Amino acid sequence: AVEYMKKNLTSVHPMWLEPLEVPGGDRQSPIDISVRKSVFDPNLKPLVAQYDPRTCQQIWNNGYSFLVEYDDTTDKSTLRGGPLEDQFRLCQFHFHWGENNDWGSEHTVDRNLYPAELHLVHWNADKYALFEEAVMEENGLAVIGVFLKVGKTHEGLQKLVDALPAGSVVEFTKFDPSCLLPESINEYWTYAGSLTTPPLTEAVTWIIMKQPIEVSHNQLAVFRSLLFTSAEEGVQKSMVNNFRFQQPLKDRTIRSSFT
Ligand code: SG7
Ligand code: ZN
C-alpha cells in the first residue's frame, strides 16, 4: 500500500518535497508498526486524558495543515499515565490526510495506510516551562495518534468541519477533543520518535491508538477543499498529502499495551 501511494501521488506541499533529513537521526517518525514485532509491555499503565473544553481557543490554518489550539498556560487539559512518567499539557491537535481515501496517514500498521491521522500534541509541563523549550528536549512531547477510516459521519468531528476556516485564524471554542478518541484508549502502541515536520526534533513519545475512528467521505472531502498557501502568487493548491514519508525503525522497539 505504501508503494502504491508513492507511485500514484499527484501533489504535495513543497515542505514535504524537500529532503526532510536529519543527519544522524536515529529515532525519526513516522514509522510502520509491525504488529507481530511489537512487544507487549504489561507495565504500561492506563492512559488518563483529562481535557477541559473551555481551554479550546481557535483554529489556525498554518499554510500546510490546520491546528485547533488550546490554552496551555495551566494544567486544565492534560495527559498522563500510559508510557508517560510526567504530566503533559494539550496545546493543539491537527490532522494529516491524502488526496483520496487510499492514503494520508503518517503511521501505518503492517504497511497499511489509513486515509487520515489525528495528532493530539502535548508537552511536558512538569519538566519544562514552555512548549518551545519542550520541543527541543528528549522527553518534551507526547503525541497521541488516532487513525481515521471511512464510514459513518462522526458527529463530534462535524462541529470542527463546519468551522474550518478559509482564512488563517477563526475563533473556535468549547470543543472537547476526547470526542475524537476511540472507545478503547487503552489499546495502543508506543515508541520513541520525532516531530514529523521541521524541526523534526527527537522529542516525542508517540502513543498510537489501535482502534481507528470512523468519519465520512464527505468530512474528509472538506479537509481536502482547504488550500495550501503557495510561494507562487496566485497558484492555489488543495491541502492534501500533508504527511511525511516513513522513516527507518533502526534500533527501536514498539511496545503494545495489549496482547
Ligand atoms: C503540523 O504538524 C502542525 C505543526 C506541528 C507539526 O504541521 O501541527 O504545528 C505548528 C505549531 O505548526 O509542529 C512543532 C509542531 O507541533 C508536527 O507535529 S507532529 O509531529 O505531531 N506531526
Ligand atoms: Zn502531525
Q: Which ligand is nearest to the CA of 203?
A: 1
* Bond into 30 cis (ω within 30): yes
- Is the shortest distance between the CB of 119 and ligand 1 below 6 Å? yes
pLDDT tens digits, residue range 98-113?
A: 999 999 999 999 999 9
Q: Which ligand is nearest to the CA of 61?
A: 1
Q: The whole model's pTM is what?
A: 0.96
- CA 146 to CA 253: how far, in whole Å? 20
Residue 202: half-sphere exposure toward Cβ, Cα within 13 Å: 12
Check residue 229 and give its pLDDT. Answer: 75
- Is the shortest distance between the CB of 195 and ligand 1 below 6 Å? yes
Q: Which ligand is nearest to the CA of 201?
A: 1
- CA 238 to CA 216: how far, in whole Å? 19
Check residue 221 and give its pLDDT. Answer: 97
Closest ligand 1 atom, CA of 199?
14
- Is the shortest distance between the CB of 94 and ligand 1 below 6 Å? yes
- Is the shortest distance between the CB of 143 and ligand 1 below 6 Å? yes
Check residue 19 and give its pLDDT. Answer: 59
Closest ligand 1 atom, CA of 135?
14
Task: Report how far ligand 2's centroid is from the alpha carbon of 196 (Å).
Answer: 6
Task: Report how far ligand 2's centroid is from the alpha carbon of 152 (Å).
Answer: 24
Q: What is the ipTM of this complex?
A: 0.96
Give 216's contacts (C-beta < 8 A, 6+ positions apart). 150, 151, 152, 153, 154
The three-class DSSP label of residue 189 is strand
Check residue 165 and give its pLDDT. Answer: 75
pLDDT tens digits, residue range 167-176?
A: 789 999 999 9
In sequence order, the β-bridge partners of residue 228 are: 237
- Is the shortest distance between the CB of 196 and ligand 1 below 6 Å? yes
Enumerate residue ranges in the chain where pLDDT < 70.
18-20, 23, 230-234
The three-class DSSP label of residue 26 is coil
Task: Report how far ligand 2's centroid is from the alpha carbon of 108 (Å).
Answer: 14
On whether the CB atoms of residues 254 and 190 are closer than 8 A, the answer is: yes
Check residue 233 and give its pLDDT. Answer: 64
| Phi, psi torsion values for 161, nearest 5 degrees | -55, -40
